[in-house]
Chains A and B, each alone.
Chain A
Amino acid sequence: MLASVVSATLLGVEGHLVTVEVHVSPGLPSYTVVGLPDTAVRESRERVRAAVLSSGLVFPQHRITVNLAPGAVRKHGAGLDLAVALGILVATDALPADVLEGTAVLGELGLDGTVRGVPGMLALVDSLARRGVERVIVPASDAAEAALVHGVHVRAAEHLGALRDCCKGEAPWPDWDPLPAPRPDEDDDVDLGEVRGLPWARRALEAAAAGGHHLLFSGPPGAGKTMLARRLATILPAPDPAEALEVTRIHSAAGHAPVGGLARRRPFRAPHHTASVPALVGGGSGRPTPGEVTLAHRGALFLDELGEFHPGALDALRQPLEERAVRIARQAVSVTFPADFQLVACTNPCPCGLGPPWCGCSELQRARYRRRLSAPLLDRFDLRVAVRPPEPGAPTGESSAVVRERVAAAFARQADRYRHRAWCRNAHVPAGALSEMVPLHGDAAEAWLTECDVRRLTGRGAARVRRVARTLADLDDVAEVAAAHVALASMLREDVP
């Protein structure tokens, strides 16, 4: 009278395998769920009972105990309904026990027995696949998403009653609808070719895209900072298949169902400056949810008007910027969200926006404005560029496609150089490995020492100049960093705002 069905629940952006054990024994009719269920899981009792009865099946008038193992992980949402229902059917011999062998079951139940979708299907199925599950039964509406995971046999379920027939081989498994076609992205109709002038800032944007460097634009309103920064998405090369699965999985877990298959472009997130700390880095009360830094994983996080963000929210970015992950600790759980993003930000140099030496703000106003951006945060930008309005009649530059090609070539150079390393971008080379990975010879070494001396660079600043110089050399497709690369790297790290 015991049945056990494999299912999964979301914890952060990762799925966790859950074994649903159903025990039906003689005694006074009762129905208990144990094993750290949340409210939605506890309410599954009523849904499962109604769904079983609505499907023309018999709900046992016995003592029913449902255990969700492992007991230490808190289970969320209604995605375990279907597993519980099938467990009860198996435990009461309405289904043979062997049909669910090696099969995981995911899905929410309606009172009429309909099987409904579950958010984060990709993350759930991916985690099950990694635990060796070969077959999954998922809601028909989510089947296409689940099928994105390689090596898992997906079966769709539309209704509990029909599902029982399919399991017993009395009916064919239903087909499922393909993923919705991708909507034309709003970024598709912007192109770097539309931007006039700003050769310096374009250069910085290209270097940021190629090396994964954090980038800060500072300049007066209307200079083209935002216009340029938004076009970063158009020059980032497409993610490789593993990255695409990772990105799609995170977005699926955050409730954004994939469209048209795995992500084909890197995420570009642009939260408004009123964003709170949990909205930015993740967290929230109860179930920790991923924040913008996690949604920007393997892509870019764009913060326009950096100075207008809440100072607490900005300082909360420091740890993810350094560790490329966010650890959210709550009383019951502690989750780690991946947060390997590059930060692109825009700011005005002072309240009037003009910046020295034309600015009309008082020293006090400027100092107060500067204080909004803490020095440790500013220090984390490898590239800091003052953007000035282009001179009238400045020519337009290269198109995104041309730049993207150079960036992709730089990606390939880096991937080759760092193939046996834990990192793959110039921006991520640890300071200790710099002299080995980015050697400087002759003029370049001398130029680097001079820059350190003239600009009074800190150790960290000097290391950042070196990384950017490496990226500039990669963009030029040369093996050795030249003095000019070092000089430009140092110039692209201005003392702004």
Chain B
Amino acid sequence: MSAPGRAALRDDHVAAVALAGLDSLGARRLRVLVDHFGTPSRALRAVEQRRARAVLATTFGPNHRHLLDPLCARWAAEVDVGTTGALLEARGAHVWLDGEPEFPIGEPVPELPVCLLAEGDRPAALHAPRVAIVGTRSATPHGLADARELAGTLVDAGVTVVSGLALGIDGAAHAGAVAAGGCTVGVVATGLDVEYPRRHRTLYRDVRAHGLVLGETGYGIGPVPWRFPVRNRIIAALADIVVVVEATLTGGARITAEHAVRYDRAVFAVPGSRRNAASAGTNALIADGAYPLTEWSDVLVALGMTPGSRRAAPARVAPEGDGRRVLDALGGEPASPEQLASRTGLGPEVVALTVAVLERTGWVTWSQGLVWPQ
């Protein structure tokens, strides 16, 4: 099977993917090897003949130096061009090497990946403007709804949504793009034959159908903790603009934002309540100079596009009476039904009925034991 518009694979492509599929041979070591030996094919031969030891020695810290010899021996035994080539052909994967005209990251950035490989039905997704939507895995219903809405708005304008296929915000961004029928690119830290997290198996299928699953890691590599922050730089490099919807102070979304700043990409952050732990990271980003994003169309303006007429919001009747009181008591923030009861002075049954009516008309959602205004 050959994917449409796919360039034929050369030896260098296969060699790069075979090297990237070695355990513990990450982006930095691959870069060192290829820079030293000139081409991926030569680097591959050096690894096979165990000539790469001296070159790689600099990439091992004093605490890991004892691993160098066993790793070189293992790599020499494991590297397998034949199988990799057959896999690439069978799966119809695209492979681009750094420096080729088709390489998805147009301008040179620091820590540029040696090669990128991608699988999916819409390679054209990479030819549109690209916006990354990233955020925390433990998102609130507000954050998930924001990510979905933003992704929908962007793909309606022809923008490709880039994200990391993780749980939480990432997943909501992909799902929003897919639901609106747009293009989306999922950048993964595992081999393209691995689907992680497993809960996103269906989402992987949808993203393949609506765009690409893309990565710099060869086949067979499972989830390894250190590969995820390294992957984040590809999300930042691929995107023209990075939007952080919800992030904790220490999470991976902030790493993506930092890469974006280094690569000179605009960073937008959705502000949130100081009570929301999942907004602490985005609020900190805004304090550091990220643009606060309150209108989705601001992203399109920043891309130099003219925001089309806003999609008419579904007409909804402003609630009156108890509904109004409950909405006012929420004040735009989530609250427990007990808090609502004590703030409005209404009884439990009345609060429950009012919330049920508000939920039916789309004013609130009821999730995680809290009432969330929409």
Contacts and interface: CB of A to CB of B under 8 A. Distances in A.
A487 B360 contact: no
A386 B276 contact: no
B232 interface: no
Contact of B338 (A198, A359, A450, A454): A198
B137 interface: yes
Q: Which of B336, B337, B350 has the most CB of A within 10 A?
A: B337
A200 B337 contact: yes
Given A391-B342, A494-B369, A363 B352 contact: no
Contact of B348 (A203, A356, A390, A496): A203
Nearest to B166: A363
Contacts of B356: 447, 450-451, 454, 487, 490-491
B320 interface: no
A438 interface: no
Contacts of B337: 200, 491
Chain B facing A: main interface SS: helix
B338 A388 contact: yes
A317 interface: no
Contacts of A491: 337, 352, 355-356, 366
A474 B233 CA distance: 61
A199 interface: yes
B3 interface: no
B338 A490 contact: no
Interface in A474-497: 482-485, 487-488, 490-491, 494-496
A487 B346 CA distance: 14
A487 B352 CA distance: 5
Interface residues of A, number: 33
Nearest to A390: B338
A239 interface: no
A53 B356 CA distance: 81
Contact of B360 (A358, A363, A450, A472): A450
A261 interface: no
Contacts of B353: 447, 483-484, 487-488
A495 B370 CA distance: 11
A487 B276 contact: no
B338 A197 contact: yes
Contacts of A358: 277
Q: Which of A357, A359, A394 has the most CB of B within 10 A?
A: A357
A259 B137 CA distance: 57
B203 interface: no
A356 to B, nearest CB: 5
Contacts of A203: 348
Given A198-B338, A447-B356, A450-B360, A357 B277 contact: yes
Interface string B123-167: 000000000000001101000000000000000000000000001
B349 A391 contact: no
A199 B348 contact: yes
A487 B349 contact: yes
Given A386-B336, A391-B339, A490-B352, A454 B278 contact: no
Interface string A442-454: 0000010011001
A300 B278 CA distance: 40
Nearest to B368: A356
Given A357-B277, A388-B338, A454-B360, A484 B352 contact: yes
B352 A488 contact: yes
B314 to A, nearest CB: 16
Interface string A181-213: 000000000000000011110010000000000
A356 B138 contact: yes
A25 to B, nearest CB: 78
B359 interface: yes
Contact of B167 (A360, A363, A488, A495): A363
A451 B360 CA distance: 9
Contacts of B359: 454
Contacts of B34: none
Given A357-B368, A454-B360, A472-B349, A487 B138 contact: no
Contact of A357 (B137, B138, B167, B339): B138
Interface string B352-374: 11011001100000111110000
A472 B338 CA distance: 17
A200 to B, nearest CB: 5
Contacts of A359: 138
B349 A488 contact: yes
Contacts of B349: 472, 482, 484-485, 487-488
Interface string A383-422: 0001010110010000000000000000000000000000
Contacts of A391: 339, 342
Nearest to A394: B342
A48 B138 CA distance: 73
Contacts of A388: 336, 338, 369
Contacts of B140: 356-357
B61 to A, nearest CB: 27
Nearest to B336: A388
A356 B370 CA distance: 10
B369 A487 contact: no
A386 B336 CA distance: 9
Nearest to B350: A484
A463 B337 CA distance: 23
Nearest to A497: B369
A359 B336 CA distance: 16
A488 B348 contact: yes
Nearest to A386: B369
A228 to B, nearest CB: 13
A203 B341 CA distance: 13
Q: Which of B137, B349, B353, B370 has the most CB of A within 10 A?
A: B349
Contacts of A488: 348-349, 352-353
A390 B138 CA distance: 25
Q: Which of B140, B277, B356, B368 has the most CB of A within 10 A?
A: B356
A455 to B, nearest CB: 8
A386 B350 CA distance: 19
B297 to A, nearest CB: 28
A113 B342 CA distance: 71
Nearest to B140: A357
B137 A363 contact: yes
A378 to B, nearest CB: 14
Nearest to B369: A386
Contacts of B370: 357
A496 B367 CA distance: 10
Contacts of A200: 336-338, 341, 348
A372 B132 CA distance: 37
B355 A363 contact: no
Task: Pick the 7 closest A-B CB pairs, nearest first.
Answer: A386-B369, A484-B349, A488-B352, A487-B352, A487-B356, A487-B353, A484-B353
Interface of B: 137-138, 140, 167, 276-278, 334, 336-339, 341-342, 348-350, 352-353, 355-356, 359-360, 366-370
15 contacts: A199-B341, A203-B348, A356-B368, A357-B138, A357-B276, A357-B277, A386-B368, A388-B338, A484-B349, A484-B353, A487-B349, A488-B348, A488-B353, A491-B355, A495-B367
Given A394-B342, A487-B353, 11 more contacts: A199-B338, A356-B140, A357-B277, A386-B368, A447-B353, A454-B356, A482-B349, A488-B348, A488-B352, A491-B352, A491-B356
